Each structure stands twice: as C-alpha cells, then as structure tokens.
Amino acid sequence: MRKLKNEGEMYREDGEVGLMLVKVNAGLDNFWRGMLEKLPTGMKWIQFRLSDQFKVKRGLPITFTRDKIEKSGEKTTLFEFSRIAGLAGDVIFNDRKKRIESVPKNCVFVVGDFPESVDSRDFGAVEIRRIEYTVVCTHLKESSMLKAEISKPQHFVADFGQIQKSFEARKTFVNWRSLVEVSKTLKYDSGDLKIDIGPGMRPTLPESGTEFRVVEANENVKRGTIVVFSLDFVDENGSKKEILGLSRVVGLAGESIYNDRAQKHERIPKNHVFLLGDNRSKAVDSRDFGPLKLENLRFAVEGTSKPEEKRAAALELEDRVNKNGLILTVPRGSKASRAQKEASGKASWKEPLGGEVKPCNSFVWCQKRSFAAVLKNSAC
C-alpha cells in the first residue's frame, strides 16, 4: 500500500489523537495482512497517536514507512502496520532466514501477529525515524467514537479496556527474540556473564527469581541434562560476538529425530547434541539452528534454588552456628568452614526435576529480575 499523502482524518499535532475509518482487507494488502487476526476484516475505526520516537517499546503496534524498489526500478514508499518485537541492541533469531541478527542502532525489529506477515524477518530492521503513528485502539465503542468526534483531541478518552483485548503486548516472542547478547567482553575471572534464558524453559525454569548451580559441561553430557550453550554470530559492524542460551539435551550423536518445524527427519552428527526447550512452542532450539557441537556446551545445570529457600537456609545455618558458639569467619578449609558450607548446600539446592544434589566444586549462576545472570566462582 502506498504511503497516504492526505491524512485529513488524523491530527498532526504532537501528542494528540485522531480517528480513521478504514476498510481492513484480508487480501494482499500488507498494511493489514500482517496484523490479522488481531485486526478482523471489515470497516473499522482505528485510533492513532502521533509517535513519540523516544518512547518506543516492545509489543507496541505502529505504522511506519519503508521504501521498496519495483522490478521496473521505480522506488515506491509503503505505509505499513506491524508490532515492535525488538529494540536496538537486541539479538534476534530470524526463523525465516535461519540466522542470528543484531538490531542496529536507532532501529526496531517489527513482526506482525499474522504468521504469514511481511515484516523485518523479510526486509530487515526499521529506522525509528520511519515510525509515524502508534495504534492506540482498534475496537472503539459507539460512546467512545461519539465523544472523540465532539471533543477536542487532547481531551479524548479511549476505551482502554478494549486496547488490551485488541493489542495485548506480547510478553514473549516465539522465534525472533529468545536470545539476548552477552556483554561485549566475557569476564569469567571477574564473574560477569549476562544471559537471557527467555521463556524457552518454562515452567521448569522461570525467567527470573531463581539461582542455578552449574558445572562445566563435558563430552559425556547425558540426555535430559539442562545446559547453557553458546552461539557465535556476526553483528551489523562485522564483529564476531557470542550469545548464550539455555535448553535441554534430548538427542545424542548418531540418533535420528523428526524436526517438527522443518518438517523433516534429521540425523545427529558425531560430537553433536540436539537441544529442545521444555516450552516447545516458545523455545529457540535445535529445531531452528540445528544440532549443536559439544564444544558449544558451556555449563550443565545441576540444581536450582529459589530466593526464599536460600534465605531460610541461611537463617537456619546462622542459628546453628550461634548455638554451637562457632565463628562465622573461620579459616578456609577448616572443619567448621566445610560443615557450614555443606549445611548450606544441602539446605538450599535442589535438582531441576526434584530431589537433592550433593555439594561440589561448581559455579553459581544467579539470575536477576533484569533477566541478566551473574556467574561467580563458588567453592563448596
């Protein structure tokens, strides 16, 4: 659809709201096709707000323009409609081109709600300056439309109860944003390691509020083991970077599996494993990027601990130490030190699938609410 030249139905003043009566076409019109079924066909009142380019966020439905070169060589400007799925700096797994992409500076990655939508997975990221409007509401009640027509734009009060029903901002994005770039320099010695596990392992492992006990992975990894893995990619500047993800080993070398996304049978090569997230519909795993080399397995998750369990264990340990007259700051390696750490380990660490795990030399991987994890050395 060509960019609208005369938008008389809309208000152009910053921050004000306007209405447009449009006919939603389910045919080949990219403007509407990408947002079906959230935007049913027929005559609809669409409420737009002039975009504030400094307040873009994930899940926001927007209209934007992009240029397209026709076969004749003529340049056409398109006016399109989609949803923001990624912001500048995010790392995206493009499920159509089967590659990892980094969203450039001052750009957003848009994905339509309709499975066959034409979006950033096809034409790339959209510059923020090309965003024109945010869609405030698509299903207005008659009373809301009447009020909009007789009142000043800045006094417009939309039926915001309908906004959530019409355009509920997604908390997760299936194939295009489950992996987040780690810090530019991985500092294993100092303990800095950022990771976003995304929704792929829910409900076994939540996205925040849980600490993980991990050990370094080796070639003898077993089926069913939850692992932290790494993937390399090249960003828009040509620099090689690394991202980390979390998944479960379900297939070993020499085995045959059926990839339900690729709709084909695959054989796992030597020195490779096949990974699947427990949340099958949301996970980015080997169904997308293929079997993974053993050398890309970084850590194996041995246990998890919820914050409240760890606090309770710490209080119990402190109570035991005070009753026995022990000193908390005992020399490293002493009997008291080992006893305290053993008690703490047994009290607070559980296997992901239930049961207890013995204390061992390992790393503690602490996932914060910001979906960043800190890796730190923790001798048992």
Query: pLDDT by residue (tens digit) across 134-149?
Result: 876 555 444 554 454 4
pLDDT at 364 over 50: no
Task: List pLDDT tens digits, range 287-301.
Answer: 888 999 999 998 888
3-state secondary structure (DSSP) of residue 46: strand
pLDDT at 203 over 70: yes
pLDDT at 281 over 50: yes
Task: List pLDDT tens digits, range 208-221.
Answer: 555 667 778 888 88
pLDDT at 36 over 50: yes
Cα 21 to Cα 62: distance, rounded to the nearest angstrom: 17
Cα 176 to Cα 168: distance, rounded to the nearest angstrom: 18
Q: For 191, left (φ over 0), alpha (ψ -120 to 50), or beta? A: left
- The CA–CA distances, whole Å, from 183 to 85, 89, 155, 175 equal 21, 11, 45, 22
Cα 84 to Cα 111: distance, rounded to the nearest angstrom: 6
Cα 99 to Cα 137: distance, rounded to the nearest angstrom: 34
The pTM assigned to this predicted structure is: 0.54
Cα 277 to Cα 217: distance, rounded to the nearest angstrom: 18
Cα 286 to Cα 154: distance, rounded to the nearest angstrom: 50
- The CA–CA distances, whole Å, from 125 to 130, 136, 152, 306 equal 11, 22, 36, 38
pLDDT at 126 over 90: yes
How would residue 302 be classed by pLDDT, with cut points 50, 70 and 90? confident
Range from 234-238, 302-306, 366-370 carrying the lowest mean pLDDT: 366-370
pLDDT at 244 over 80: no
CATH number of this structure's domain 192-305, picked from the four choices 1.10.510.10, 3.30.930.10, 2.10.109.10, 2.60.120.10: 2.10.109.10
Query: Highest mean pLDDT range out of 139-143, 150-154, 357-361?
Result: 139-143
User: In CATH, what is the architecture of 19-172?
Assistant: Ribbon (2.10)
- The CA–CA distances, whole Å, from 358 to 131, 311, 321, 336, 375 equal 54, 19, 21, 18, 20
pLDDT score recorded for residue 223 = 92
Mean pLDDT across 223-242: 81
User: Residues 191, 377: contact at Cβ < 8 Å?
Assistant: yes
Q: Where do the CATH 2.10.109.10 domains begin and end in the chain?
A: 19-172, 192-305
